[in-house]
Amino acid sequence: MKQLLFGLCCFLICNQVNAQGCSDAGFCSLGILKTNAPSTSKKYSLTIGANYGSGEQSTNTFNPYLEYAVRLNNRISGQLKMTAVYASGFLGSTFNVGDILGFINYAVKTNNNNRLGLLSGIKIPLSHSNDKNDEGKPLPLDYQSSIGTFDIIEGINYIIKEKWELNAGIQIPVIHKNKNTFFPDEYTDPRITNFSATNNFKRKSDALLRMGRYFYFKQSSITLKPNILAIYHLGEDSYENRLGNRERIRGSDGLTVNAGIIATKRFRNENDLELIIAAPFVVRDIRPDGLTRSVVANIQYRFRF
């Protein structure tokens, strides 16, 4: 175990490649697809959290969120999550609300050894993905608080003998409300060539697969879950060029693989503190959606009542 953790830490510290972090603050950070909360007698929880990511051309993003969850019975629970993003980089800085995510978890099978859960949800964008900098110039999606799509999210979670966890999911954009108007040629800074044009951007679906292993430290009430997360972007995204024609963004499809670790400390009052650190080691060639991260760190505190 120590060697595993040491190896993972070394990997996370050394790995400075850029890659997709997650999908639009979406399904890889949702409910049972992220962590399987331990059983509790309390019906409600309110979670306050934030994550920090370092992205393309050192664009820093700070992403606070608020999540409210209710356990309706032993099998069904619902969650509502709202995000916001502060982004800062050489093009300027922005702050805006991001998305509202609503989803339902259903526990299909509960016994002492294995557990199967299903997740179904939606993502509603709260912005048009067209925030500008102080000069009024359009900014790439790396600076936007949302991709601007209404998405359907479906997922499945399987825990084997309380040790191994497998997740699979899909996130499908169904309505595009993206009004981004960014063209890199409106800037003269040479670093701008790292950003793709995203005028009236349209995004394809993502599929997720994650495998994790639980390690329990009962004396300190800490659980560790190192995990490998693979996200496959199922098609090439597109944008509208200056002549009003839609163009595909070559190389924007493909695989991203992240390694991460989730640490959860549970307190006597059943509240918990969760820390996540993750970094990618396989990346897509082009990542116009602005979800590029070299490393992501997340902290959250959950109140149960």
Partner 1 sequence: MFGIIQSSNSCAYKSLIQDNMKPIIYFLAAATILILACKKETTSTRPLNEIPNSTAMAVDSGSFSNGPYGSVSGKAKIYKTGNNYELALENFSSSNGPDLKVYLSKEKQPVNFVNLGSLKSTSGNQVYPIPSSVNVKDYSFALIHCQQYNHLFGFAPLKP
Measured from the CB of residue 17, what is the shortest distance to partner 1 in angstroms?
32
Question: Of these, 118, 128, 154, 156, which contacts partner 1 (CB under 8 A)?
Answer: 128
Q: Is 243 in the site for partner 1 (CB under 8 A)?
A: yes
What are the phi and psi torsion angles at 71 (to 5°)?
A: -95, 110
Nearest-approach distance from CB 275 to partner 1, in angstroms: 22
215 within 8 A of 172, measured Cβ to Cβ:
no
Instruction: Verify binding: residue 244, partner 1, rule CB under 8 A.
Output: yes
Residue 191's contacts (CB-CB under 8 Å, 6 or more residues apart) are 57, 90
Subset of residues 165 to 184 that bind partner 1, contact rule: CB under 8 A = 179, 181, 183
Give residues with Cβ within 8 angstroms of 298, minimum separation 6.
Answer: 29, 49, 50, 51, 52, 274, 275, 276, 277
Shortest approach of partner 1 to residue 191 CB, angstroms? 19
Whether residue 91 contacts residue 182, with contact meaning beta carbons closer than 8 Å, is answered with: no
Report the run of H or E that residue 155 belongs to, with start and end: strand 149-160
User: How many Å apart are CA 144 and CA 80, to the nearest integer?
Assistant: 21
Q: Are 211 and 164 in contact (CB under 8 A)?
A: yes
x-marked contacts with partner 1 along 196-235 as a string, rule CB under 8 A? ---x------------------------------------
Q: Determine which residue in the list 3, 136, 219, 220 makes contact with partner 1, applying CB under 8 A.
A: 136
How many residues of this chain interact with partner 1, rule: CB under 8 A?
33
**Rounded Cα distance, 240 and 181, in Å:** 9
The Cα-based distances of 123 to 139, 149, 171, 285 in angstroms read 22, 8, 9, 26
Quick check: 132 binds partner 1 (CB under 8 A)?
yes
String marking each residue 79-118 x if it binds partner 1 according to CB under 8 A: -x-x-x---------xxxx--x------------------
CA 128 to chain centroid: 19
Q: What angle do CA 66, 72, 74 make, to 5 degrees?
A: 115
Stretch that binds partner 1, among 4-12, 110-118, 125-133, 276-284 (CB under 8 A): 125-133
**How many of the other CB atoms lie within 10 Å of CB of 197?**
21
User: Pick from 50, 66, 107, 230: which binds partner 1 (CB under 8 A)?
Assistant: 66
Asked if 41 interacts with partner 1 (CB under 8 A), we say no
* Residue 186 in the binding site for partner 1 (CB under 8 A): yes
Binding site for partner 1 (CB under 8 A): 44, 46, 66, 68, 70, 80, 82, 84, 94-97, 100, 126-128, 130-132, 135-138, 179, 181, 183, 185-186, 199, 242-244, 305
